[in-house]
Amino acid sequence: MPRRTIASEITVTGTALHAGGTVRMTLSPALPGTGVTFRRSDLGLDIPARFDRVGETNLGTVIAQGGASVGVVEHLMAAVAGAEIDDLRVILDGPEPPILDGDALSFLVLLERAGFHDEAARRQGVKVLQRVEVSHKDATAALVPSDRLEYDMEIDFPTKAIGRQSFHFVFSREGFRRDIAPARTFGFVHELETLKKMNRGNGASLDNTLAIDGNTVLNASLMRFGDEFVRHKILDAIGDMALAGARLVARFEGRRSGHGLNNALLRALFAGRANYEIINLP
Residues that bind Zn ion (CB under 5 A): 185, 236
Q: Which residues contact 162 (CB under 8 A, 6 or more apart)?
A: 155, 186, 212, 229
Amino acid letter for position 76: L
Closer to Zn ion at the Cβ: 30 or 141? 141
List alpha helices for the chain, DSSP H. 74-82, 105-114, 173-175, 189-197, 228-241, 259-271
Question: In this structure, are residues 21 and 203 in contact, taking their beta carbons and an 8 Å threshold?
Answer: yes
Task: Please give the helix or strand (H or E) that residue 10 lies within, else none.
Answer: strand 10-15
What phi, psi does 24 have (nearest 5°)?
A: -110, 130
Cβ nearer to Zn ion, comparing 5 with 69: 69
Pairwise CA distance, residues 77 & 64, whole Å: 15
Q: Who's near 199: CB < 8 A, 6+ residues apart? A: none
In whole angstroms, what is the distance from residue 186 CA to residue 233 CA? 10
CB 74 to Zn ion: min, Å: 6
Q: What is the rounded distance in angstroms from the CA atom of residue 246 to the CA atom of residue 176?
A: 17
Per DSSP, 181 falls in state T
Q: Is 259 a catalytic residue?
A: yes
- Hey, what's the torsion of the CAs at 25, 30, 35, 39, to 10 degrees? -40
CA distance 37 to 101: 23
CB of 104 to Zn ion, least distance (A): 9
Question: Whose Cβ is closer to Zn ion: residue 84's or residue 236's?
Answer: 236
Residue 75 C-beta: closest distance to Zn ion, Å:
6
Residue with smaller CB distance to Zn ion, 83 or 249: 83
Give 77 or 264: the residue with its C-beta nearer to Zn ion.
77
Task: Please list the alpha-helical segments (H only) found in 88-225.
Answer: 105-114, 173-175, 189-197
* CA atoms of 120 and 158, how far apart (whole Å): 50
Q: How far is the CB of 97 from Zn ion (least distance, A)?
A: 12
Residue type, 5: T
Q: Which of 18, 75, 232, 259 is catalytic?
A: 259
**By C-beta, is 127 or 259 nearer to Zn ion?**
259
Minimum separation from the CB atom of position 184 to Zn ion (A): 8
Q: How far is the CB of 35 from Zn ion (least distance, A)?
A: 22
Residues known to be catalytic: 259
